[in-house]
Amino acid sequence: MANKQASKLRVTLIRSTNGKIQSHRETVRGLGLRRMHHTVELEDTPAIRGMINKVNYLVRVEEA
């Protein structure tokens, strides 16, 4: 059995949530992003990927 380390994603909020759809604001908060240029590292899971895809126009994603 190979030990596979879970990959991480570095997500940064690059656009403001002001004036955006409420569910998109909540998704950004659910990702743990609080303010502009705030960066968080998250596990690369299907749920996180779905949240990122929903607000892809607000965030920048990099492999960590």
pLDDT score at 4: 57
3 within a domain of the structure (yes/no):
no
39 within a domain of the structure (yes/no):
yes
**Gap between the Cα atoms of 16 and 11, Å rounded:** 14
13 within a domain of the structure (yes/no):
yes
The domain in which residue 47 lies consists of 8-63
Among candidate residues 4, 40, 33, the one with its CA nearest the CA of residue 16: 33
47 within a domain of the structure (yes/no):
yes
**Number of folded domains that form the chain:** 1
Q: List the structure tokens of 17.
A: 């949530």
User: pLDDT tens-digit profile of 7-64?
Assistant: 999 999 999 999 999 999 999 999 999 999 999 999 999 999 999 999 999 999 999 8
What CATH number does the domain containing 32 carry? 3.30.1390.20
What b/e readout covers 6-29, taking b as 16+ CB neighbours within 10 angstroms?
eeebebebeeebeeeeeeeeebbe
